[in-house]
């Protein structure tokens, strides 16, 4: 993100771990310093320039000096807050996705300890630690963008699976919908969905089977055929692998749950 690439940190004023209660909120006008906020627990919503942002353990907030916004805590919890000076101001706030907060927590703890203990060169260490956190934020944006662009590349194949999931599809047939090689397609697909295409196909089938078994469909064999399995044995084997239950036990459990309502 360009705003982070141009940011020069000149001083870190604070690094604190605090807690906010539910429904606590407030308004900031022309914020004095830059801020980084990570909700360790709970969730907070921000409103800036007519747009809503959600902050939680998977979304970190960057609050520039010069920005004005309101905020409200939706769920009580701890949060990390770093306040620092930089070389320019900005009027809008930013939300960054983070895959894992563990590395950021580690950096923050080092930064907070260095400030509390007034270690040699602690001011430089704090600036360095804040840069490291900003770099983690940039990595997350890059990863999200990369996955988004890769999804667009294979989107025709994903739609093809959705429309033809009852057929015995092959990787070659699915990849041809996106007009890319089978090997490259499988690589991109796995990066985006966390599983290869054929496993995703079975996932779609079995999720539909669960919906059908939760209703009053005539028989397990009919369900198996309806979602694309020619063999009830194969269907039962895949269903149990996916859910941990046999189709008959799953259907009986859902029927019992409905009866108790």
CATH for 19: 2.60.120.280
Element (H, E) at 138: helix 122-164
DSSP strand pairing (94-97 vs 43-48): unpaired
Pair (112, 38) in one structural domain: yes
**How many CA atoms, within 13 angstroms, populate the side-chain half-sphere of residue 139?**
12
Pair (216, 111) in one structural domain: no
**Which band of pLDDT confidence, cut at 50, 70 and 90, is reported for residue 91?**
very high
CATH assignment of the domain containing 241: 1.10.10.60
**pLDDT score at 257:** 66
Range of the domain at 71: 2-144
Q: What angle do CA 56, 132, 4 make, to 5 degrees?
A: 80
Which whole number is the average pLDDT over 218-228?
A: 89
**pLDDT score at 84:** 97
| Lowest mean pLDDT, pick from 49-63, 106-120, 175-189, 241-255 | 241-255
CA distance 123 to 79: 22
Pair (139, 11) in one structural domain: yes
- For residues 33 and 9, is the Cβ–Cβ distance under 8 A? no
Pair (127, 213) in one structural domain: no
> Is residue 174 assigned to a domain?
no
* pLDDT of residue 145 exceeding 60: no
To the nearest whole number, what is the mean pLDDT of the chain?
A: 89
Q: What's the Cα-to-Cα distance from 151 to each of 154, 156, 164, rounded to whole Å?
A: 5, 9, 19
pTM of the predicted protein model:
0.57
* pLDDT of residue 216 exceeding 70: no
Pair (139, 210) in one structural domain: no
> Is residue 158 assigned to a domain?
no
Pair (132, 232) in one structural domain: no
Which whole number is the average pLDDT over 104-119?
A: 90
> Is residue 103 assigned to a domain?
yes
**pLDDT score at 143:** 62
The count of domains in the chain is 2
């Amino acid at each position: 993100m360009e705003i982070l690439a141009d940011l020069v940190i000149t001083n870190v004023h604070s690094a604190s771990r605090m807690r906010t209660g539910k429904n606590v909120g407030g308004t900031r006008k022309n914020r004095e310093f830059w801020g980084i906020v990570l909700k360790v627990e709970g969730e907070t919503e921000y409103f800036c320039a007519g747009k809503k942002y959600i902050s939680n353990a998977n979304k970190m907030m960057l609050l520039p000096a010069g920005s004005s916004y309101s905020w409200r805590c939706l769920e009580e919890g701890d949060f990390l807050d770093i306040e620092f000076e930089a070389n320019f101001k900005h009027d809008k706030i930013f939300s960054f996705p983070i895959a894992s907060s563990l590395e950021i927590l580690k950096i923050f703890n080092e930064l907070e300890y260095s400030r509390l203990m007034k270690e040699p060169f602690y001011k430089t260490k704090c600036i360095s630690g804040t840069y490291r956190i900003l770099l983690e934020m940039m990595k997350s944006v890059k990863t999200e963008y990369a996955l988004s662009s890769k999804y667009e590349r294979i989107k025709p194949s994903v739609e093809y699976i959705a429309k033809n999931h009852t057929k015995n599809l092959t990787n070659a047939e699915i990849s041809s919908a996106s007009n890319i090689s089978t090997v490259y397609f499988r690589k991109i697909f796995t990066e985006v969905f966390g599983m290869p295409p054929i496993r995703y196909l079975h996932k779609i089938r079995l999720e539909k089977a669960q919906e059908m078994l939760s209703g009053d469909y005539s028989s397990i064999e009919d369900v198996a055929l309806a979602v694309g399995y020619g063999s009830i044995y194969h269907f039962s084997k895949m269903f149990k692998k996916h859910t941990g239950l046999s189709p008959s036990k799953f259907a009986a459990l859902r029927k019992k749950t409905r009866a108790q309502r």
